[in-house]
Chain A
Amino acid sequence: NAGVMQNPRHLVRRRGQEARLRCSPMKGHSHVYWYRQLPEEGLKFMVYLQKENIIDESGMPKERFSAEFPKEGPSILRIQQVVRGDSAAYFCASSLDWAPSEQFFGPGTRLTVL
């Protein structure tokens, strides 16, 4: 049973470009969470999605950031017009049900904005 998969593992973008981060949850999991981690910091919650629904996006910046979890396919975190401050590790977690202690994390995507 494969764990949470994220791709790409490393992504380099120039300022103003778009970044698309993908997350495939564990098999059978329908709850996905996105977190951002700055160097030497803890993870910061961004958004919580179920299939085709955004449940909580209270941690997501209002502009340039969007997330989706379609009926088929991976969850996508999209950052438009990236800036240097977007450089961070972005982690996705998934769970079978709503269970905060049952979130399994992926290996992360490390975004570098030049």
Chain B
Amino acid sequence: GESVGLHLPTLSVQEGDNSIINCAYSNSASDYFIWYKQESGKGPQFIIDIRSNMDKRQGQRVTVLLNKTVKHLSLQIAATQPGDSAVYFCAENPFGSQGNLIFGKGTKLSVKP
């Protein structure tokens, strides 16, 4: 079946360090992969996305890597700040779907000052 899951449920890093959040997916027919950040009591906020024909994409302080061979997705956050503390979700949009997203369970990132 289709599923998106995360390796680590929690991640604690020191302020200023780099963070790496991982995600494994099982549906090789997905078109888009997206990372969302969700702060407590709020809705998910788009961070960055990547199409299946790419293996790397960079944004401001964030990089997403896609390894289709092992069906692995990662989000790298450079110089992690306290404001980055949140739950991070990867999501995929299977090719041919009507726009719905399949979310993983999430990784909680905690940044220590």
Instruction: Point out residues on A near B: beta carbons under 8 Å.
Output: 4, 31, 33, 35, 40-45, 48, 55-56, 58-59, 91, 93, 95, 98-108
Contact = CB atoms under 8 A, between A and B. Distances in A.
Interface residues of B, number: 25
B101 interface: yes
Nearest to A104: B46
Given A42-B89, A42-B104, A48 B43 contact: no
Given A100-B32, A100-B93, A45 B102 contact: yes
29 contacts: A31-B99, A41-B105, A41-B106, A42-B105, A43-B44, A43-B103, A45-B100, A55-B98, A56-B97, A56-B98, A56-B100, A91-B43, A98-B99, A99-B99, A100-B31, A100-B32, A100-B93, A100-B101, A101-B32, A101-B34, A101-B49, A101-B93, A103-B46, A103-B101, A105-B45, A106-B43, A107-B41, A107-B42, A108-B42
B103 A59 contact: no
Contacts, number: 74
A46 to B, nearest CB: 9
A40 B43 CA distance: 14
Nearest to A105: B43
Contacts of B93: 100-101
Contacts of A100: 31-32, 34, 93, 97, 99-101
Contacts of B105: 40-42
